[in-house]
Amino acid sequence: MDPLVIFTPSGKRGRFPVGTPVLTAARQLGVDLDSVCGGRGICSKCQVAPSYGDFPKHGLTVSDGALSAWNEVEARYDRVKGLKEGRRLGCQATVQSDIVIDVPPESQVHRQVVRKAASTRPITMDPATRLCLVEVAEPDMHEPAGDLERLRAALAEQWDVTGVTAPLRVLQNLQTALRKGNWQVSVAVHRPAGSDMPVILGVWPGFHEGGLYGLAIDLGSTTIAAHLCDLSDGRVLASSGLMNPQIRFGEDLMSRVSYSMMNPGGDAEMTRAVQEALASLATEIAAEAEIDPGLIFETVIVCNPVMHHLLLGIDPVELGQAPFALATSGSLTFAADEIGLTTIAPTARVYMLPCIAGHVGADAAAVALSEAPDKAEALTLIVDVGTNAEILLGDQSKVLACSSPTGPAFEGAQISAGQRAAPGAIERVEIDPASKAPRFKVIGCDLWSDDPGFTEATKDSGITGICGSGIIEAVAEMRMAGILDASGLIGSAEAVGTPRCEAQGRTHAYLLHDASAEGGPRILVTQGDIRAIQLAKSALYAGARLLMDHRGVERVDRVVLAGAFGAHISPKHAMVLGMIPDAKLDNVTSAGNAAGHGARMALCNRAARSEIEATVGRIEKIETAIEPKFQEHFVNANAIPHATDPFPELSRIAPLPQVSFGASGGGGAENGGRRRRRRA
Ligand code: FES
């Protein structure tokens, strides 16, 4: 009987004649074992770990000679590059007798990428662009066929890739590469899911060691974030970001749409600005990862609809007025140089996820891909907090989506001492309810401001301002400490009982930090700051509440805070503020940058692209701008945490003092000052 070969962890098994290469056995059994060089002993992607000894579970004893002895190819590979102890090259080692063979994760084609946040879905590698080493027949005068035609025949025979085409840029290099490689070339084959039109994006003589890379870009209205990924294993080699240069045309989306309406050619100006920013971000991130930007062959971009249109050079004017028609809501695939992305491979492809609706973009689609509310049993509310909040509510039965214009306050803009999340920015705040004294943490230092050594530790960065998560905690802590009433008014020094409450005209401000004696800033939370936060959080809550109305529920089971910023928000403080509906605190989690994760999924896995295209088709879109209830929800959400909705879970964990600093609630505190006693 032929020897039995058992692969782990798949458990796949079969009998093969003595002398069968392990790679061949794996392929015949459908075992997930990688190979770029097609079994030529060059790429080392096919590494396996044979196991010897007794395997009662399999009823097998594996003897020492179950695989062939090391051959010259393996020995050379070990000499030059080094093979890990116990590893063999699957294409070189052959079966001699019964054997158990483990395929380590890094040798699996469809390996899973380690995930960062527990709630995000793992990524299974199956990128659209892959590297193949091909042996091409030499030209023959008697059988005239072009180099490309013979390469196509070789790809069909050796890699089962048929119908491949090559753009002119590849063709221009093909002859040199083939001759330089002595008829052996590596080709980057781009094959999107469901496409029978594979395209060659790059060709190199011999075995290409430089790798293939991809960019996952989350193009936000305020910031642009990019991850540079290795397309062979999904590793993030560098992450980088920059401010969206379109900010100079308007801070939020609607002001950019207005800019386009009011200024002929304004849309083209904004298009140029963002395209140039992407091109330089690609150069920067490649430099950071120390790779050739010319090896970036894939880019996935997620963004909101206005960014989507402006990036593509489409006037966003239709998105500024009902019925908010998109030029296209479908996913898009095109050449990178069509959007000015000329700093990466000249043949690179761009994939843009589909938009959900005129106000709910491809970024929300990416969040849906990453968080998969459509697969959840619990009714899940996902809020991606940004200048424009994207909100999803749903479970296995149905998913609803909307967006809400929160403005840039959560990102530290429109806040008197607001700043971007950078070293020196206050990010955590606690206020003692008795003394009303604050303590805080700044980005770049693990110590609290009242810990010994804090001054020394923050000497370099200084204490420069408050970032988005800091202002949320500051306002919530002020409310919990009785410095701020439910209507959002800051009390006077007398009313609150601390000189930290300073009069500013007809209103008051709370002093968080004073470094003026050392020539530093005085950082205050002003009444204007509170108003800005109230507007932002009311928009967010109203959007969520509207979806709950449509779903016919008063409560949700889970709340997921998504977005780079969402990752830093404390669930308790978000609830005190009334940004999100009341829920069990344990069921409020952060998903990190879910849109960015969704973009990475689409970059590393072709099927994820078809999956989200199908999911988006099933999501029900709710347009906040034309919903009459939105305004009512917005007004009620102005109070902190809320004028009418009960917050039973919140009152269990953080009972709020019943203080009131102004009868009218209209912005003055001079007639206030009566402080009711804190309720237990
Ligand atoms: Fe490339 Fe074995 S398949 S080294």
- Determine whether the shortest distance from the Cβ of 41 to ligand 1 is under 6 A: yes
Indicate the domain borders of the chain.
4-107, 129-205, 213-352, 373-407+535-645, 417-525
pLDDT digits (tens, 9 = 90+) for 650-680: 999 888 999 999 743 333 333 333 333 333 3
Average pLDDT in the 512-518 region? 91
253 vs 589, which has greater pLDDT? 589
Report which ligand 1 atom has the smallest distance to the Cα of 44. Answer: 4
Tell me 321's DSSP state: S
pLDDT digits (tens, 9 = 90+) for 373-432: 999 999 999 998 877 788 999 999 999 999 888 877 887 778 899 887 788 999 999 999
Phi and psi at residue 488, to the nearest 5°: 100, 15
Q: 33 C-alpha to center of ligand 1: Å?
A: 10
Domain 4-107, CATH number (from 1.10.10.60, 3.10.20.30, 3.30.479.30, 3.40.50.170): 3.10.20.30
Average pLDDT in the 98-102 region? 95
- Determine whether the shortest distance from the Cβ of 43 to ligand 1 is under 6 A: yes
Alpha carbons 478 and 484: distance in angstroms, whole number: 5
pLDDT class for 214, splitting at 50, 70, 90?
A: very high
Q: Is 227 exposed, middle or buried (0-12, 13-18, 19+ CB in 10 A)?
A: buried
C-alpha distances out from residue 382 to 125, 206, 431, 557, Å: 26, 48, 29, 11
4-107 and 373-407+535-645, same CATH topology: no
From 24, 34, 44, give the residue whose CB has the most ligand 1 atoms within 8 Å, as the site to mutate.
44
E strands present in 552-680: 558-562, 588-592, 620-621
State residue 120's pLDDT score.
61
State residue 247's pLDDT score.
83
pLDDT digits (tens, 9 = 90+) for 285-335: 999 999 999 999 999 999 999 999 999 999 999 988 878 889 999 999 999
| Model confidence at 560: pLDDT above 80 | yes
Residue with CA at minimum distance from ligand 1 atom 3? 39
- Determine whether the shortest distance from the Cβ of 37 to ligand 1 is under 6 A: yes
Alpha carbons 676 and 391: distance in angstroms, whole number: 37
pLDDT digits (tens, 9 = 90+) for 24-71: 999 999 999 999 998 989 899 999 999 999 998 888 999 999 999 999
- Determine whether the shortest distance from the Cβ of 42 to ligand 1 is under 6 A: yes
pLDDT class for 468, splitting at 50, 70, 90?
A: confident
- Determine whether the shortest distance from the Cβ of 89 to ligand 1 is under 6 A: yes
**Fold designation for 213-352:** Nucleotidyltransferase; domain 5 (3.30.420)
Q: Return mean pLDDT, the chain.
A: 90
- CATH 3.30.420 for domain 373-407+535-645, yes or no, is yes
State residue 671's pLDDT score.
36
pLDDT digits (tens, 9 = 90+) for 153-196: 999 999 999 999 999 999 999 999 999 999 999 999 999 877 77
Reported pTM: 0.81
State residue 115's pLDDT score.
53
Q: Is 138 exposed, middle or buried (0-12, 13-18, 19+ CB in 10 A)?
A: exposed
pLDDT digits (tens, 9 = 90+) for 634-650: 999 999 999 999 999 99
What would be the CATH architecture of the domain defined by 129-205?
A: Roll (3.10)
